[in-house]
Chain A
Amino acid sequence: MFGLYKKFKDGLAKTVSAIAAKTHGLFGGRRIAAASLDELEEALYTADFGVETTNEILAEIKQAYGKDKELRGRQAAEIGATVLQRVLAGAEGVLTPSSPAPTVIVMIGVNGSGKTTTAAKLAWMLKQDGRRVTVAACDTFRAAAIEQLKAWATRLELDLVASHTGADAAAVAFDAWQAAKARGSDYLIVDTAGRLHTKGNLLEELAKIRRVLQKHDATAPQHRWLVVDGSIGSNSIEQAKVFHKNFGLTGLVVTKLDGTSRGGAIVGIWRELKLPIYFVGLGEQPEDLQPFSVENYAKAVFSLED
């Protein structure tokens, strides 16, 4: 676990220093003053936590400050992290294989959120774990999307099922399931085309992928994950709601947290939909996918490493 935490922390290190810079000394040994509560509010808002979570954290810190005027920055940060951990309690997704194999995971999301890269990273991670994995290239729409996944498959020696641009995405998923079964794969990871949640006809394509998979296995796809870009703001919540309504999401992956964004919108998604967060993306390399840890996330956001 320590190794994981380190990786997570390293990924978020820049973030931490960014917050620390903004709230200079705020979370250090300095005593909280009325003015620093404003700074704190700013720090929370700029993490994309949204109005509700920000107010909740602020309220508790203010309350503590009301009781103890000697409250130090570090204690305020600890309160913040505690509230965040409480809000996110139960939000850690744990991936386990289901039977009968293959366990099917569909990557869903708006354009450019990181689905393809996550599919490749996840396949690699599972492979490192000794699992057999097949990947399905069901983005048959975007230019060179198939080539992109093929390049990953070559680089990471992954089993890939792909057709050609313009092919029926559901047909590829159907074939891929069969291939995964025949190869004895534990997992089938399905990459799909990016689509905005506002486009009804494109949502229908996802439903179709699901229907054909169910011809093979009524319980498939067992996992329907929304891949959200951590630098996106409140629209992530809108995305999650609509995809969830149309496709019944089972979890989230948050990408691009190696930047300075803190991905606070996932807290909003968790509050609204209680979808567990399985992984976070911390870079473009295969090893840059890490299981989501509430504690690490909360600590990293409030720069409370230990």
Chain B
Amino acid sequence: MFESLTDKLGSALRNLRGVGRLTDENMADALKEVRTALLAADVHFTVARDFVERIRIQCAGQDVLKSVTPGQQIIKIIHDELVKLLGEGETSLSAARTLKILMVGLHGSGKTTSTAKLGKLLKKRGYRPLVVACDIYRPAAIDQLEILAKQEELAFYADRNSRDVPAIGAAAFEAARTATADCIIFDTAGRLQIDHDLVEEVRKLHAKVQPDEVLLVADGALGQEAVNVAKAFHDALELTGLILTKMDGDARGGAALSIKSITGVPIKFIGTGEKAADFDTFYPDRLASRILGMGDVVSLVEKAQESFDQKDAERMAEKMRKADFNLEDFLAQMQQVKKMGSMQSIMGMMPGMSGVQLPDDSERQIARTEAIIRSMTIQERRKPEILNGNRRKRIADGAGVKIVEVNQLMKQFQQMQQMMKMMKGGGAKKMMRQMEAMKGKGGVPGM
């Protein structure tokens, strides 16, 4: 996957080893690498430059903590600053009723899908949403919204004969009254920020419906263009929030930092898939780690500190490093993980795993897995190779599951072992090193 910032910083940081105080001179190389890493994550050129400057000012003159390396200290500062920047602003929606939301953005960014997602979410929160089709250009755009509305059981309004978008918006109020809706979401056509006529059109729609929220829907993989887009939309419509879509992919999401820095508008939601349920509230720390390309190592380390027994962590790190890891360890580790929080959020924090979506029932799955391992003898746990058909049947009976589930677990376990072998040289090692680094320095964050 991605080379993490920590990898990239490698040599630049090594030069810092042993310095007692961070200065402009000794940080220069490291900061250059930081800039390159941000650019590689598609952060806008000037945004990256300004950000690095902020970091330089913050770092300069700081004494290096005894317990961490200068590199770790810089990364922690960068990470914290990024979290602060990304997280600024109010992420919840306006409390107005009737709540009026205008969705805007470039072509294909995910406006229609996000309209349905937001409708579903607000419905769950007790609203009665009406979605309004204001895209009269893209072929079958109205049909698309109508189908999604039907699927999510949302009230829907369109006027297929009208070419007057502001008028459609105005007419939606009548439809909202009829449907006793207390929330109206306007889905608009994709438009280039430089398309004067279409920008004028959406401004008129805006003037007509006076939305409480104007949400820019932007593809999480946007490049440098993000700045031009966000600025122009913000100038024209005074955005109130940002929805970052397609974050189920592996884009680093640097565009979010660009948009955030240029407009100051808060990031409100994250699109994580094509289905209406694939919609998340926004966590600045996760995105920060993703932009830096290091998984949420920071919070993983922090969480780990709270719940991991130090000796256990050490032992586990050793085992993982050697890729010598049996089912007994697996069980022990699962218990640790349970202490740390939900599996999904842990996965979200692992380098390279942030895009991995666990099935909804994964927590239950874990309980079953535990039951299966608990039905094994100690010997079986330590030497899973000896599990033949008979043993597997006995275990399945003991755990109250089907044999296929035991087989599945064994297969997964094998894959996991393989993965560890693979990761021996990569991110995991670094993660473990962080965990080791924190042993014996209680309280000091590992990064």
In the complex, what residue of chain A is closest to B248 when comparing beta carbons?
A: A196
Q: Is B408 located at the chain interface by the 8 A CB criterion?
A: no
Tell yes or no: B79 within 8 A of A by CB: no
Is B219 close to A, CB under 8 A?
A: yes
Q: How many residues of chain B get a CB closer than 8 Å to chain A's CBs?
A: 46
B106 touches A235 (CB 8 A): no
B148 in the interface, Cβ–Cβ < 8 Å? yes
- Which chain A residues border B252 with CB–CB below 8 Å? 234-235
B55 to chain A, nearest CB (A): 19
* Total CB contacts across the A-B interface at under 8 A: 138
Given the known inter-chain contacts A112-B108, A144-B147, please indicate yes or no for A260 contacting B194, CB distance below 8 A. Answer: yes
A residues within 8 A CB of B109? 112
Q: Does B241 contact A (CB under 8 A)?
A: no
- Are B140 and A144 interface neighbours, CB within 8 A? yes
Q: Which A residues are in CB contact (< 8 Å) with B310?
A: none
Scoring A residues 257 to 278 as 1 if CB is less than 8 Å from chain B, else 0, what string do you get?
0111100110000000000000
Q: Knowing A113-B108, A142-B274, say if A233 contacts B249 (CB, 8 Å).
A: no
Q: Tell me, in angstroms, the Cα distance from A5 to B257 when the chains sit together.
A: 36
Instruction: Please report which residues of chain A, range 156-201, place their CB below 8 angstroms from some CB of chain B when the two chains form the complex.
Output: 196-199
- Which B residues are in CB contact (< 8 Å) with A14? 194
Q: How far is the CB of B91 from chain A (nearest CB, A)?
A: 24
Q: Name the A residues within 8 Å of B41 (CB-CB).
A: 234
In the complex, the answer to whether A151 meets B139 with C-beta atoms within 8 Å is yes
A72: shortest Cβ distance to chain B, in Å?
A: 24
- Residue in B139, B141, B228 whose CB lies within 8 Å of A152: B139
Contacting pair B139 A259 (CB below 8 A): no
Give the docked Cα–Cα distance between A178 and B137 (Å): 33
| A45 CA to B46 CA, complexed, in Å | 10
Complex-state Cα separation, A196 to B42, whole angstroms: 18
Residue of B144, B246, B255 touching A233 (CB-CB under 8 A): B255
Least CB distance, A253 to chain B, in whole angstroms: 14
B36 at the interface (CB under 8 A from A): yes
* Chain A residue at smallest Cβ distance from B42: A233
With an 8 A cutoff between CB atoms, is B193 at the interface?
Answer: yes
Partner of A261 from the list B137, B146, B223, B249 (CB cut-off 8 Å) is B223
Is B255 within 8 A of A147, CB to CB? no
Are B110 and A111 touching (Cβ within 8 A)? Answer: yes
Contact B249 A196 (CB under 8 A): yes
26 contacts between A and B (CB under 8 A): A18-B228, A45-B224, A46-B44, A48-B224, A51-B40, A111-B108, A111-B110, A112-B108, A112-B219, A142-B274, A143-B147, A147-B144, A148-B139, A152-B139, A196-B248, A198-B249, A231-B229, A233-B224, A233-B251, A233-B254, A234-B40, A234-B223, A235-B42, A260-B193, A261-B228, A284-B107
The 3 closest A-B pairs by CB, nearest first: A233-B223, A112-B108, A151-B139
